Amino acid sequence: MKKIIYPLLIGVITALSAFIAVTNWQVKEPYEVKFSGGRIHGEFKGLKARILFDKAHPETSKISASIEVSTIATGFFLKNTHVQNALDADKYPLIRFESTSVTKSGDAYNAEGKLTMKGVTKSIIIHFTFEDKGKSGVFNGGFKIIPKEFNITHSGTPAELTISLMVPVAG
């Protein structure tokens, strides 16, 4: 009986310790959510995120985030309005990401998940690094999207957008 219980107990403790080590990171200001492509570039504010991340066990991590479309800043008021119209901000006020898995890739990580924009959901992979500073850290990453795959076809919309992220956090 002891031969069965001890290995089972050790397995349960090991599994629990992996979940205990996951840190619930809180986004700190100033963060950056920037986009660029073609003749358009700018950034978003209004980031809300729930980041449960453990660099030693990324498979236990979960990331969900949303950003308010109305917070777009291109540096030019009319462009802001054009982009908000292209994203149909009144009907779809948020852009959302929900991870389905997080994996290690060399010295970096990949968060695979679902990006929802303008009512369309597509699978994407966000490549990122994490600079651990103890009780704080910084996530740096990015990904590319093809706007027409999200039904964003407004005149002047680039064929591809690069999204870059710099998100300081505290645990």
The pLDDT averaged over each successive group of 10 residues in the chain (171 residues) is: 55 48 90 94 96 95 97 93 93 98 96 98 98 96 97 91 98 89
**pLDDT the model gives residue 154:** 86
pLDDT at 1: 53
Q: What per-residue confidence (pLDDT) applies to 17?
A: 45
3-state secondary structure of 150: helix
* pLDDT at residue number 4: 60
pLDDT of residue 16: 46
Measured at the alpha carbon of residue 30, what is the angle toward residues 83 and 111, in degrees to the nearest 5?
A: 70
List b or e across 56-89, with b for residues whose CB sees 16 or more CB atoms inside 10 angstroms: eebebbbbebbbebeebebeeeebbebbbebbbb
| Under 8 Å between Cβ of 159 and 37 | yes
Q: Which SS3 state, helix, strand or coil, does residue 29 take?
A: coil
pLDDT computed for residue 155 by the predictor: 85
Residue 151: predicted pLDDT: 95
pLDDT of residue 22: 82
Task: Return all residues near 168 (Cβ < 8 A) that are at least 6 apart.
Answer: 27, 28, 29, 30, 31, 136, 137, 138
| Res 43: pLDDT | 97
The structural domains of the chain, ordered by start, are 22-170 (2.40.128.110)
Cα Rg, the chain, nearest whole Å: 19
Amino acid 11: pLDDT: 53
User: Phi/psi class of residue 149: alpha, beta or left (left: φ > 0; alpha: ψ in -120 to 50)?
Assistant: alpha
